Structure 1
């Protein structure tokens, strides 16, 4: 017991830093709660129970109820075809099905709207959201299928169960965690998305909050919309937790995992290829073709000195903010990951939960919280780079935290002790052993944060310093002004920057599924 207490005391700087990160994570949630209380029950009820809010609630609920099942069907179905059937060129399809994640949803919406200007409303929103977000289900489902021991499936088949019954009775239950997690990610993205739905004139809570903020912002009305939005996020977290449950699907014992048996598609192979080709054409072909077409249509103007200078500035600022966000987020995640690995317990779990709740909030809610807190408490921070980077940290901390925690778990404390026993000072042992082993995981997490920052729109629009111009914000400015040709180079650059990071995410998910 004494040794445990001494261990905690020796790590007090890490604990203090973790508590600081946790306290910052509670700022947005505290803002929503405080503003709701300050509004008063009667006023809050009047602002929430009104036709406009009910309309937004109906739009949002229908969007989630229609899009999430479609993403589940495409994601799980595609994963099963790639990992469990004799589908030809399955390795190519594995990458193509994950590739749409490299295209931001608002870029996808821009491509569809410029191709079909009449697109608007719920149906268009479901189409664009499904094509943009189904990889969030496909990637974890494919990763889980690739690592599942097929012995149970083979046993079920030997008892006379056909492929369809084996899938629904044996395979699908083992995908429960991946499906629940993927559905949660899709749902949270639907609640947070602004650009894609604003472009097709489909009203959600996020678009309504942004409209109020950018025109005649009503503090009480906007805060109540944010409160309802946060409540929907919390409901989704609870549903995902219940759906995931406490089940574990792991193989116990030694021995090599059996090679998976692939179901022969036979006459169904051609329809399967046609179906996957249709998904790839809609999710990848349409946006890439439309962006390329507008890029060519821009002609010489795209290569004019002023245009290239503006493009270079936007690229440079995007890379700079992405680098700052990645470094700051990884640094903030380190003490939390260290605490979770070296001293697991109620404190580390509570701090992680606080950040997961905050990061699940839409960027616009977090940005509004920071705008209000900065103006009222620290006005010197309003519209500054540090405040914007802090928002990135809170939004994307889990991406770095998950990778760092896995990396630190592979560097047990006993290795540091062995290095110290050989004469290394504690700091040198940490740098030469633990930090070195965790560096690849930290780099992977930082790369995923970098990708998120480069494509972030809403928080950047609200918090960025005057004059800041990123690829996302410049693209949004041009596309909102119907300058589709001028927006094409920015869309193309975002896709080119996102593609390698998306492939990295796909590969990391496969490794994580095997741990």
Structure 2
């Protein structure tokens, strides 16, 4: 009997996504949909309004005035911040400036002072200060650290061999800086300038106090005074379009050029530049910056505390605001970090086009101003989920949307340092995917999670617009109480709240500064 041999090639079974990846991806998609809710709201509001009505509300003189104010504000503020940040970063990281470590910390410390507290401090010194000049001056001292931090880190990571090669070809020191150093700082410059631009679009308290109209102040005025939802929605549309323009400009300036060093060997240690006779004159820059960004707030707050005496420390009101602020910061920081865990894990363990797209959705959503996020959530809760209107859940959701990237960056860096084999070993011992992830990666990435909670909490402490519009009745955070008292011209009564916001922000700023030094190996 002849035997029949089966020569058919067996079909390989279809690879299925591991259970841990599937449920993690599901959660990440749900968070991305939630984060894109403000963008969907703006598009929905435009569609409901209709093109004719929308055109009448958008193409009018008031919008033109706001657009001019916005363009001028960004046009003057961002270049000045760039010059200040680049100069400070070079002096503190590449030169023998006396007390460089101290000046490095003082260049970051202004982030602990909310932008509207800077405005309060400057008005306390010069009561007649208002308009574009005031907006540019206060914005520079409030926001230049957003550029200084990435630039300082970039300076620490540069390879001086490239500068030596350029100098050996006969280039003067300034030409070496312009043609070799500055191109390597492009990523840090673009990222920092984008961050400052987005903050300028979103800021409310700073500009409201100096009576300088922007899209954000106009939206809140429309919403609070006339309850003209349609007009506020169309202003929000223009504001979102401005954000997209900034994102496009940043992407175009950043380009796709490689910035990594390629070749044998390792990068050399940085060479400290001797300032010589310019050493002490160069001290004028960090001294002046510290005086304006830290000295003026300290003097103003101190003066009002002394003028108000013990009577302004109404401990029942101040204590309640402090407790509510700490509680909402803790809840919001934990919720934001927890929401970032799935996409942080996927971006490290399962880097695909889908995960990169989801991550991009998170960053796109966070670029939208807090007032747009608040308008979206107000509309959705009033129309669809009324029981959630002005509840803790709604305000926490707003914080998650706005501050998700802060937690994501810290978590992703920590998860990348945890070997994937630990998760596999835990799963091989019979643990469920979620249990294996929790018992290994999540626990070992706890320092990054703690940094994410701290960074998100820092944003929540200083957040004003969304908190005002979404917080439950009876909520009075430090920022809300401060702004209410300054609105009543009670600057002495507002001083304790300003002081407490700075005190509780300082440790978080120190953590941010320490992490940036640690990443660069210093």
Task: Report the TM-score range of the alignment, normalised by the length of the smaller protein.
Answer: over 0.9
Give the equivalent residue in structure 2 for 1:211.
Answer: 221
Q: Distance in 1 between matches of 2:13 and 2:253?
A: 40
Q: Give the C-alpha shift of residue 429 in structure 1.
A: 4.3
Give the equivalent residue in structure 2 for 1:259.
Answer: 269
CA contact (8 A) 1:111 1:286 kept: yes
Q: Distance in 1 between matches of 2:388 and 2:431?
A: 43
User: CA RMSD, aligned part only?
Assistant: 1.8
Give the equivalent residue in structure 1 for 2:191.
Answer: 181
Q: Does 1:89 align with 2:99?
A: yes
Q: Give the C-alpha shift of residue 14 in structure 1.
A: 0.9
Q: Does 1:395 align with 2:402?
A: yes
Q: Distance in 1 between matches of 2:377 and 2:15?
A: 37
Number of equivalenced pairs: 512
CA contact (8 A) 1:163 1:263 kept: no
Q: What does the per-residue CA deviation read over 1:220-250, in whole Å, with 9 as the maximum and x for residues that have no partner?
A: 2111100000000011111111111122322
Q: What does the per-residue CA deviation read over 1:167-205, in whole Å, with 9 as the maximum and x for residues that have no partner?
A: 111111000000000000000000000000000000000
Q: Distance in 1 between matches of 2:112 and 2:217?
A: 23
CA contact (8 A) 2:20 2:433 kept: no
Give the equivalent residue in structure 1 for 2:73.
Answer: 63
Q: Does 1:453 align with 2:463?
A: no
Q: Which moved more, 1:42-51 or 1:151-160?
A: 151-160
Q: Distance in 2 between matches of 1:433 and 1:313?
A: 39
SS of residue paired to 1:7? coil
Give the equivalent residue in structure 2 for 1:464.
Answer: 471
Give the equivalent residue in structure 1 for 2:414.
Answer: 407
Q: Distance in 2 between matches of 1:421 and 1:377?
A: 45
Q: What does the per-residue CA deviation read over 1:339-368, in whole Å, with 9 as the maximum and x for residues that have no partner?
A: 211211122112111121111111001101
Which of these residues, 53, 63, 67, is aligned with residue 53 of structure 1? Answer: 63
CA contact (8 A) 2:19 2:433 kept: no
Q: Give the C-alpha shift of residue 154 in structure 1.
A: 1.8
Which of these residues, 90, 97, 116, is aligned with residue 106 of structure 1? Answer: 116
Give the equivalent residue in structure 1 for 2:342.
Answer: 335
Structure 2: stretches of 5+ with no match in the other structure = 1-10
Q: Distance in 1 between matches of 2:281 and 2:497?
A: 36
Q: Give the C-alpha shift of residue 279 in structure 1.
A: 1.0
Give the equivalent residue in structure 2 for 1:115.
Answer: 125
Q: What does the per-residue CA deviation read over 1:45-74, in whole Å, with 9 as the maximum and x for residues that have no partner?
A: 111111111000000010001000011111
Q: Give the C-alpha shift of residue 370 in structure 1.
A: 0.5
CA contact (8 A) 2:88 2:285 kept: no
Q: Distance in 2 between matches of 1:9 and 1:386?
A: 29
Q: Give the C-alpha shift of residue 253 in structure 1.
A: 5.1
Give the equivalent residue in structure 2 for 1:292.
Answer: 302
CA contact (8 A) 2:20 2:434 kept: no
Q: What does the per-residue CA deviation read over 1:125-182, in whole Å, with 9 as the maximum and x for residues that have no partner?
A: 0000000000000010001101212111122223332221111111110000000000
Give the equivalent residue in structure 1 for 2:389.
Answer: 382
Q: Does 1:507 align with 2:514?
A: yes
CA contact (8 A) 1:295 1:488 kept: yes
Which of these residues, 490, 499, 502, is aligned with residue 495 of structure 1? Answer: 502
Q: Distance in 1 between matches of 2:432 and 2:32?
A: 31
Q: Give the C-alpha shift of residue 31 in structure 1.
A: 0.6
Q: Give the C-alpha shift of residue 3 in structure 1.
A: 8.6
Equivalences for 1:37-52 in 2 at 5 Å? 37-52=47-62
Q: Distance in 1 between matches of 2:499 and 2:317?
A: 15
Which of these residues, 342, 357, 362, is aligned with residue 369 of structure 2? Answer: 362
Structure 1: stretches of 5+ with no match in the other structure = none
Q: Which moved more, 1:251-260 or 1:178-187?
A: 251-260
Q: Give the C-alpha shift of residue 430 in structure 1.
A: 3.2
CA contact (8 A) 1:177 1:244 kept: yes
Q: Distance in 2 between matches of 1:295 and 1:412?
A: 52
Q: What does the per-residue CA deviation read over 1:415-451, in whole Å, with 9 as the maximum and x for residues that have no partner?
A: 3224555787765543342122211111111110011
Give the equivalent residue in structure 2 for 1:199.
Answer: 209
Give the equivalent residue in structure 1 for 2:6.
Answer: none
Q: What does the per-residue CA deviation read over 1:288-330, in whole Å, with 9 as the maximum and x for residues that have no partner?
A: 1111111111112034xxx111111000000000000011001
CA contact (8 A) 2:339 2:400 kept: yes
Q: Does 1:430 align with 2:423?
A: no
Q: Give the C-alpha shift of residue 484 in structure 1.
A: 0.6
Q: Give the C-alpha shift of residue 507 in structure 1.
A: 2.3
> Who wins on radius of gyration, i.e. which is larger?
2
Give the equivalent residue in structure 1 for 2:446.
Answer: 439
Q: Does 1:348 align with 2:358?
A: no
Q: Give the C-alpha shift of residue 277 in structure 1.
A: 0.7
Q: Does 1:147 align with 2:157?
A: yes
SS of residue paired to 2:36? helix
CA contact (8 A) 1:154 1:261 kept: no
Q: Distance in 1 between matches of 2:58 and 2:231?
A: 8
